[in-house]
Amino acid sequence: FAPSYDCNDNSLTHNPRMARTKKAGRALNVDKNNAKAQNQDYKRWLNSYPNCAAWAEQYDLPALLDANGGLVVLADFLPAFVAEGVLSDLAAIKDWNQTAANRDYAHNNIDHAFMSTRKGTALEAIIRAVSLVMPDSLHSFSAAKYTRDHHIVRHDDRAYTDVLMEDGSVVQCSRDIALIVYFTKDWRPEYGGLLIDHDAPGGGR
């Protein structure tokens, strides 16, 4: 279950030998962790800090983004049995919130309509696990569900929010990295929901 990146070995470091060594070492560690994890329930895995921390350690998102022009696709991001378990949990959620707005630049709104939630048997655990990929950053994760007629228009994903600091001051922060984890099985472009990077060199990708 070592992830496959859309970048070359030397995208992680200027020393190709070091890159291959590090990637090989990481792949072996992940394989061992997953071999043991296959015998565990996915919820137990998600609630085990050593498991989640060892898994998250393989990802250096800032380096990957810098090496790939700001957009990187990570296949097999989660261990397969964890992804399957989370998907079954999401499918069982009945209390989804309808999220919709029309374009309103004054209030930083874009035209969109979909369902979202922060509740679910495993949702808090998966959010906690994914947050370990960048443990020194502030996070704001939720689950979204798109069905027929749901949509979201072109946007920059900045997402401004006020954050209360330790000294009591309030600082307006905006998103630095957008991380999307897809759980749809056997997805095809004709289903809709294709992510397009409009700032990619030479046009959208």
Residue 1 lies in a domain: no
In 3D space, the residue among 36, 55, 23 whose CA is nearest the CA of residue 131 turns out to be: 55
Give the sign of the dihedral formed by CA 1, CA 76, CA 145, CA 49. Answer: positive
Q: Quick one: tokens of 166?
A: 């330790």
Q: In this predicted model, what pLDDT tens digit does every residue of 125-180 receive, in sequence order?
A: 999 999 999 988 888 888 998 888 888 888 877 777 888 888 999 988 888 888 88
Q: At what angle do helices 49-56 and 123-131 cross, to 10 degrees?
A: 50
**What amino acid occupies position 1?**
F
Residue 202 lies in a domain: no
| Confidence at residue 59, expressed as pLDDT on a 0 to 100 scale | 94
Confidence band of 20 (pLDDT split at 50, 70, 90): very low
Residue 152 lies in a domain: yes
Q: In this predicted model, what pLDDT tens digit does every residue of 46-99 receive, in sequence order?
A: 999 999 999 999 999 999 989 988 888 898 999 999 999 998 888 888 889 988
Total structural domains within the chain: 1
pLDDT of 26 strictly over 60 = no
Determine the structural domain holding residue 134 and report its residue range.
Answer: 9-191
